[in-house]
Amino acid sequence: MPNIKNKTGVGQAIDRVEGHLKVMGMAKYSTEFPVKNKVYGQGINSTIAKGEIVSIDTSEAEKLPGVLKVITYKNAEKLNTFDQVPTAISTTTIAPVLQSNKVHYYGEYIGLVVAETFEQAQHAARLVKFEYRKDPNPAIHLDKHEGKAYKPKDMEDYVLGNLEAGLSAADEVVDVTYTTPIEHQHPMELHAIIATWDNGKVMAYATQQMVNDATIAISDTFQIPKKNVRIISAFVGGGFGSKLNTERHVIMAVMAAKMVGKPVQVTVTRHQMFTNTGLRQFNIQKMKVGAKKDGTLTALAHETLSHTSPTQEFQEPCGQVTKMLYKVPNNRVTYRLVPLNIQTPFAMRAPGEATGSFALESAMDEMAWKLKMDPIDFRIKNDTQVDLSEKKPFSSRLLVECLRIGAEKFGWKERSMEPRTKRNGNWLIGYGVSAASRQAPYQKTNAKVILALEGNKVNATVRMDGTDIGTGSYTIIAQTASEYLKIPVEQVTVELGDSEFPVTPGSGGSWGAASYCNAVMAACENAVKTLRENRNIKEEEEVPLAKLLKRNQLKQFEADGSAEPSKEFNDHSVYSFGANFSEVWVDKDTGMYRIKRMVNVGAAGKILNPKTAYGQIIGGLTMGAGMVIAEQSRIEPNFGNFITRSFADYHVPVNLDMANIEVVFLPEDDKIANKMGVKGIGELGITSVAASIANAIFNATGKRMRELPITPEKLISAAVEPNVAS
């Protein structure tokens, strides 16, 4: 059992309150709810990148025992479709599927088989035959279609000052290009849903990060009232952004349930998660940095070229960090998109910051080297307490403290400025640093608390439609209720992930902890306040919760609470900040390297639970290391299909790849951010990790690696920079 007995309040490093449910297999994920008469759907994927379906033969599949329906564009329910193409994608965007014979990318859903068993559905799906009119020239390669690049509709070019003048005034200029590959989110829990349709009402157990937004997407797609859609997502086995929006398998399951009159379960296979549940874009990022000899920045430019699909538009905001992290008078950030016959990209953990910080923080390291200046001193010299892009002061900003304390913890003074000089036998040893930032959003959130008096003990139940995507939401919400009701955590029950509960923004974007817990605090405070006011209890009189209920002659009491950003919040720029330090050993002959040590220092407001927070940072560091070591999704250059399509091909870090890690949280009391002073950390943990490792590799080898992932083959074939002694 978790060590929560008689513990109260936030700040305690208690075990997860739902932990025992998970280890005992009692936590119900989407496909584990017992639903009677359930049948199974299996999506069918296109095998061309662009073209049209000219004929479909379903006869062989329909003859199989157990097959109930084969759904294609010919017999599918008519859905709401886009008014214009491409249309911007969001977490509430409709998701029409099987509406035409057009094929836009390899793997696009072109059919669904519904059968009595999962195996029957999978078998039958392989028997449906499609003939295509294939376009011989699908757009697959970004570099071959740069001429089709356009400015995204919702992302204006950002310009501060005069970039050209700033570059002309510089004593040194760095002008380089960095590339980051397509990556895929691969949570352990596959995307899945059990959907029912009963008299125009939809009930779905679905693995979604944002259940309220899912109800909007489903209701708008089927053009039914939102009140007729209910989503339950009690536990989500990871998402990393892939479960933010409503994907096509959700719509197909709901459609199939209506057509066959039975509950339908659809589970996206691991292979299909490469083609049907989003991805991180391939980004080409051109960086220009200008600085004076004393390290003063004069100019900074960040130009990103990415791809989107032919039907929907998404741009990862890689330049967000470049707009606000340093004091620079001349700044330009631009985005350009090329439509390719690849599925629509979408948010992946720290969208923009994870990839953009690799380019920015690597370029900052390159400039520091050019200036022969310590890279920490260079960053500190250009610190700012004002977000120049928003013309707002930061609510709090402890970046300098993160860098200085991290340097002390890491032993930065042992670093050699000159690359290739620190050695141990055949190993070249390098130290790298990077600054990190991540916006700390806070969104309007609602919660309900239900108090029940049993003898002399009060049990509390907290309800909200927020989700726990493995981050510890159940635990920190329970701790918050414990804190403001002054009862032990063991007397708090948290119920999440039901769209009939009070509305929240869901989990994503590092807004969950702050938004959820402030709403829970408000509900608890409202409960106590109402009970006290009902009996005219004076402010200075302390009355335990059980006695409050007894004085009110109540056995049960409910209260709602709502929290949202204040005017002061909107008048400030609210971010979490951090610093990453990495020690990397590189074999000088083979290019093999090992990440030996990592130190992460973060300033992220009040830490609700150091244990769950530590887990979030470890996860972020691991994903950041994965960006460098191996993660990439590769496309077959002729046909447009992913040739990385399983964990045998798509490599992620394992325990032996990771370093000895030290995580430090700086005390920070930022009440501008919100009443509780809580900020997000889940995405801060991955931001700029890749740059700290790449910078350490340069310090070890004298080789600048500007393309991720950094494989031994790339490293061994790269040349030492011309201004480095070999």
Give how far Cα 549 sits from Cα of 264, 528, 558, Å. Answer: 45, 9, 11
State the first-to-last Cα distance of the chain, in angstroms, to the nearest integer: 58
How many whole angstroms separate alpha carbon 655 and alpha carbon 146? 39
Taking alpha carbons only, the member of 186, 184, 183 closest to residue 237 is 186
Q: Which two tokens stand for residue 588?
A: 């000088």
How many whole angstroms separate alpha carbon 585 and alpha carbon 210? 41
Report the SS3 class of residue 551.
Answer: helix
Residue-level length of the chain:
726
Active-site residue identified among 683, 707, 713, 721: 683
Does 683 qualify as catalytic in the annotation?
yes
Give the CA angle between residues 673, 677, 680 to the nearest 5°.
75
Strands 283-291 and 102-103: unpaired
Strand partners, 586: 428, 593
Residue 190's contacts (CB-CB under 8 Å, 6 or more residues apart) are: 207, 267, 268, 269, 270, 273
How many whole angstroms separate alpha carbon 32 and alpha carbon 66? 22
How many whole angstroms separate alpha carbon 44 and alpha carbon 108? 8
Quick one: which H or E segment has residue 530?
helix 512-534
Per-residue DSSP letters for 404-458? HHHHHHHTGGG--SSTT--EETTEEEEEEEEEEEEE-----EEEEEEEEEETTEE
How many whole angstroms separate alpha carbon 571 and alpha carbon 162? 26
How many whole angstroms separate alpha carbon 661 and alpha carbon 638? 42
Report yes or no: 626 and 693 within 8 Å, Cβ to Cβ: no
Query: What string of H, E and C letters represents the secondary structure of 255-273?
Result: HHHHHHCCCEEEECCCCHH
Taking alpha carbons only, the member of 615, 188, 607, 155 closest to residue 352 is 155
Query: What string of H, E and C letters represents the secondary structure of 564-585?
Result: CCCHHHHCCECEEEEEEEEEEE
How many whole angstroms separate alpha carbon 21 and alpha carbon 30? 15
Half-sphere exposure for 372 (CA within 13 Å, toward CB): 4
How many whole angstroms separate alpha carbon 613 and alpha carbon 608? 8
Strand partners, 584: 430, 595
How many whole angstroms separate alpha carbon 656 and alpha carbon 445? 41
Catalytic residues: 683
